[in-house]
Chains A and B, each alone.
Chain A
C-alpha cells in the first residue's frame, strides 16, 4: 500500500513588532489598518483567558518610554532587577517588561492589542516610545482544562508544496490548502536565527521517516511539549508556530 507520513503542527502564536509611539499593536489584519506583516498571526476570537493564554512583553529601545507603577520589577528574559524601580519609572534601553493582563485590551476579532497608558487604572500600562519592541505569545483555549487542542493542522507529507525563508528567524512551510482550490495553507515557524536550512532538513527527515509505514509525526507543539525529537535533533529553538488557513 502507498503510505505517507502525516505532519502535525500545533499552534503557539508569536509575533514581534517594532512600534512607533503608538499604543495599539496590530498582529492580524484589521479593516482599518494595513500592516501587511501582521497577516499571519490570526484573530484572538478563540482566546481562552487573557493573561493566561496571552503574554505581552515590551522591550525598550531607549530610555524613553514609561512603565506603569504595577508593572514587573524584573526583566522578563533575564530576571534581573530593572534599572529604575522608584521615582519616574523610565525603562532602560534593552529592558524587557511583562505587561500585566490589566494593562492591555485584546480586540478579539481584529488582532489588535491596545496597551494602556502608564497612568491608567491600576498602573498596569506602559507608554510606548518609538522603536520599542512588542512581543506577543498567544495560544488558543489553553485555559479550558482540555489542553491545547484548538489550533492545529495535520497534513499528509505529500501535500507539501515548499519551504521558504521569510526572515532570519521565520520560515514558511506551505501545503495544498484544505479548501481544495489553487491556494496554500501555511505554517510560519519562528525559530532561532539562521536556522532555515536546518528547518528544511528537519521537514525532509520527517517526510521520509518510517519508510515502511506512514506515521503521524509531531513537528511542533510548543505549549504541550516544547521538546520534540526532530526539533531537538536539529537544534531549531522553535518558540512559535503560526498556522494560517487560506481564505
Chain B
C-alpha cells in the first residue's frame, strides 16, 4: 500500500475530520503507519491514553469502527471514485491546485469530475451570492460572469439556486469555464433543479469538485466549510447580493483570511437583499464594485480587446442597424430593465408591435429575459 492510497483512505473515514487525522499523522508519522496502527490495536491504546489524560476519547466508537474497516480495505475509496468516473487529488500530488495550498490545512482530498485543469487556470474568480436574488442581482451576476469570461477567467461558485446558478449558467453561455464546489459528496450534488446545469458545467470543460467521500450526505456545517474552497480557488471573491444571513458572507470572510481580495456589489441602504453586502463593506477591507470596467481594472485584468473583425462595436452603431420600432424598444431597454407591459406603456406602441420587436432583439441576443422583465445584452451592454 502506497502512502497516497493510505492518505485517501484516512481522509475518507466517516467521523474523522482534519483535526483528528492531523493528530494521528503527528503520532504515527504517516497515513500508512496510521492504518497499520489501526490494524494492530495501537490506535486503541492511544485512544485509551488520551481518554485518561483529556477525560474523553478523541475518536468515538462508530468512527473507530469506520477507521478499522478502512484500514482493512484501504483501496475502497479509490474503487468508489473509479466506479463513479471521478478523479481524486491530494496535497501529496504535484498537480494539486496550488491555490488550495493557501488554506491551512488544505483539504485532504479533492474528489472531482470533469476537467481538473479548470482548477489551475491562470485567472480564476469566485462569484457568489444569495439563494434568493432579485432580478437585478441576477442580471448583474450574468453581466459580471460574461465580462470575466471575456477576460479569460474561470468562474468558481457553489452550484446553489440563485446567484450561484446564474454565475455558472452565464459563464457557460458566454463560452467560458466554470468550477462548481459541491457542499456534500458527489452522490448528493445539490438542488435537483440544477441537474442539467451540473451536466453543462462538465460538458463545457469545467469541473465539479467536493472535499468529501462521494457518499457523504449534506450535513450541518458541510456547506459553510466548502465556502473556504470556493474562496481559495478564486484569486478574488465577488459577492452579489448577500442578505444579513448569507453563506456568501462566510465565503468573503474566508477569502480575506487567506489574503484574497473581496469585491462586493453595494446595494441601497435599507434594502433587505443587500444588507449583508453592506455589512461586509463596512466591517472588512472589501472594495465595492462600481462598474464592470472598474472591476476589471481592480482585478488587474486588462480590458478585453475588441475583436477587430466585429462589424458593430458600440451600442450606438448597433442601434443604427435596427428598424424603427426595434430602435424605440432597444432605447427604452437601455434605460433599464422593463416588462412587456411597461414597454407597451412607455413606448406607446401596440402590444403586438412591441412583442415582435422584442423577439427580434432576443433572436439576435441583444436582449435577454430576466424573470418577467427584459434587459439589454450582447452588443448593447458595451
**Is the pairing of A and B real?**
no
